[in-house]
């Protein structure tokens, strides 16, 4: 059986005023790095 690479969407959010303004960017970067390491295709953010 052949499995195609996983297709994933990234959801990042800014939850409080105390959160670092760079947090959303950092969350997306972390998710993209994990997706690349796992061989997943990011299809949406």
Q: What span, in angstroms and rounded, lies between the C-alpha atoms of 22 and 26?
A: 6
Q: For position 16, what pLDDT does the model report?
A: 81
Whole-number pLDDT of residue 21: 77
Q: Alpha carbon 26 to chain centroid distance? A: 9
8: left (phi over 0), alpha (psi -120 to 50) or beta: beta
Q: What is the pLDDT of residues 6-33, one digit of tens each?
A: 999 999 988 888 888 789 999 999 999 9
pLDDT at 15: 82
Model pTM?
Answer: 0.76
- Listed residue (3, 4, 7, 12) closest to 45, CA to CA: 12
Strand partners, 7: 41
């Amino acid at each position: 059986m052949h499995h195609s690479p996983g297709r994933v969407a990234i959801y990042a959010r800014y939850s409080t005023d105390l959160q670092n303004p760079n947090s959303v960017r950092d969350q997306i970067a972390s998710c993209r790095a994990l997706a690349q390491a796992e061989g997943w295709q990011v299809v949406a953010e």
